[in-house]
């Protein structure tokens, strides 16, 4: 079990002014983080943050599924047609367009099975799609959501306790960058705030 990050105590919440003893809420250290109209962070308000990049499912993994490979449960992916709204592809990090085919499959975004290596359902374009460029820009499947769950993991791929939190989407980049300053945190998962479904990963550059 990974310990919580020591940067946590005494962090003041930007919305209601209370101190979050678990750490890492909306206001982190001395950085005031504000929302923008398009759910991207207001970079004018961010200082001294680590550079980060958003990482999608590896192309080799996506191609294996798209070519008929078994999922994390050893089953063949299911094939459906998209409604054009709620089908986020984890490789290109775009919404699968209406009437385009997509796959439903069990995915484990960890190198090997272990107690903290969660497996869950994801969507993927049924046909080859372009890999999302690894930049600090939030992808369309995240920007469309009001808020997301983010959670830090150690180099041993274990949850770092005290890092998990639901944050407004506009504050994901800045909050993730601050979390990655913790020596225990190697990377961050971005997950659905309501269903815990894996969306993408955030690494430090």
Output the pLDDT for position 34: 39
Tokens of 78: 């299911």
What is the SS3 assignment for 203?
strand
> Is the separation of the CB atoms in 123 and 104 below 8 Å?
yes
pLDDT tens figures, 77-96: 999 999 999 999 999 999 99
- Mean pLDDT value of segment 127-141: 95
Output the pLDDT for position 9: 39
> Is the separation of the CB atoms in 162 and 71 below 8 Å?
no
Q: Alpha-carbon distance 182 to 163, whole Å?
A: 10
Does the domain at 58-125 match CATH 1.10.287? Answer given as no
* Domain regions of the chain by residue span: 11-54+134-204, 58-125
Output the pLDDT for position 44: 38
Q: Which residues is 88 bridged to in the sheet?
A: 95
Q: What's the pTM value of the predicted model, to 2 decimals?
A: 0.78
pLDDT tens figures, 32-49: 333 445 555 544 344 345
């Amino acid at each position: 079990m990974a310990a919580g990050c020591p940067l946590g105590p005494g962090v003041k919440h930007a919305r209601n002014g209370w101190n979050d003893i678990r750490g890492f809420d909306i206001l982190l250290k001395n950085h005031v983080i504000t929302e923008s109209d398009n759910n991207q962070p207001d970079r004018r308000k961010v200082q001294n943050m680590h550079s980060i990049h958003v990482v999608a499912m590896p192309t080799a993994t996506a191609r294996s599924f798209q070519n008929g490979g078994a999922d994390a449960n050893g089953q063949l992916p299911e094939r459906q047609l998209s409604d054009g709204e709620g089908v986020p592809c984890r490789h290109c990090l775009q919404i699968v367009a209406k009437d385009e085919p997509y796959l439903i499959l069990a995915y484990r975004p960890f190198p090997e099975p272990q107690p903290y290596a969660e497996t869950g359902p994801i969507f993927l374009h049924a046909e080859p799609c372009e890999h999302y460029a690894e930049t600090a820009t939030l992808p369309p499947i995240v920007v469309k959501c009001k808020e997301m769950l983010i959670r830090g993991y150690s180099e041993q791929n274990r949850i770092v306790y005290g890092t998990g939190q639901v944050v407004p989407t506009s504050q994901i980049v800045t909050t993730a960058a601050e979390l990655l300053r913790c020596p225990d945190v190697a990377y961050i998962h971005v997950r659905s705030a309501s269903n815990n479904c894996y969306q993408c990963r955030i690494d430090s550059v």
